[in-house]
Amino acid sequence: MAVRWFYLSALTLSSLGLMCILFTVYWMQSWHGGFAWDGTIFTFNCHPVLMVAGMVVLYSAASLVYRLPQSWVGSKLPWKIVHAALHLMAFILTVLGLVAVFKYHNHANIANLYSLHSWLGITTVFLFACQWFLGFAVFLLPWASVWLRRLLKPIHVFFGASILSLAIASVISGINEKLFFSLKNATKPYSSLPGEAVFANSTGMLVVVFALLVLYILQASSWKRPEAGVVTERQVRGPGLPCQVGVGQGREEGHPGKAWALPGRPTQYHGGKPSSWKVG
């Protein structure tokens, strides 16, 4: 049941993420003339699209890699590589988004980094960079000891969710700031809620719903990869034989055997004398 709910949530999340990107593209294309990379306002239009695609949608996809049921068994290294690679792609898109806005500001002689939105955005990107390099050095490279990884893992997880929350705050403040700048004439003020305001506000709400669903999936204990040696609630017993469904230490003293499988997959039983066999 938990796996079915996960895939249903993942399908919903994928649809919402794609809608967030498409809505932002449509907003910039329909009300602000489209995209270019020549330093004009059309260069700035790339900024919101790249930030939503990188810092929100792709970042969230990278964060949810370890929630895939397929990642619960076998070696964790391939999933670490996927996790790091998706985050790196998100970071590249984010940097391009920053380049777009600085390129436009410098071309138009507009001051940089004076608004709360820009402060939030730069702080988020800085934390993201630190998070990625620390994660790569400690969790992907083989030099770090087990105790160091255990010490830093809660911090890594906390900042992962915090960076996403800061990214959402940056997106929302950016949408509001853009609307205040573009809807300030007397004939079409922001307060009259013209079509652009309604659409952009709706896009912001869509981003918030997307982020809340991501955070919910990240916090749901039934969708987390079980730790080694930890017995989870996903336990079953066969006739006269202890059997656990999950990932962790596969053999312990005094246990005649354990079977390990994902729901809907063949169970693998390891019998014989107690040994140190484990998965992951």
b/e for 184-203, b at 16 or more Cβ within 10 A?
eeeeeebeeeeebbeebbeb
Does 87 reside within a domain?
yes
Model pLDDT for residues 69-97, shown as the tens digit of each residue = 888 888 889 999 999 999 999 999 999 99
On whether residue 247 sits in a domain, the answer given is no
Weakest mean pLDDT among 13-22, 135-144, 195-204, 251-260: 251-260
Domain range enclosing 142: 1-31+46-226
Residues in contact with 163: Cβ distance below 8 Å, sequence separation at least 6, in sequence order: 59, 124, 127, 128, 131
> Quick check: is 238 in a domain?
no
Q: Quick one: pLDDT band at residue 185, thresholds 50, 70, 90?
A: confident
75 belongs to a structural domain = yes
Question: pLDDT band for position 225 (50/70/90)?
Answer: confident
Across the range 149-176, mean pLDDT stands at: 96
Asked if the structure places residue 98 within a domain, the reply is: yes
93 lies in some domain: yes
CATH of the domain at 114: 1.20.120.1770
What does residue 65 show for φ and ψ, rounded to 5 degrees? -55, -45
Q: In total, how many domains does the chain have?
A: 1
- Model confidence at 56, pLDDT cuts 50, 70, 90, reads very high
The verdict on residue 84 lying in a domain is yes
* In the block, residue with structure tokens 């993420």: 17
- Does residue 280 carry a pLDDT above 80? no
**Residue 274 within a domain:** no
Can you name the residues that pair with 72 across neighbouring β-strands?
none
Mean pLDDT on 18-38: 98
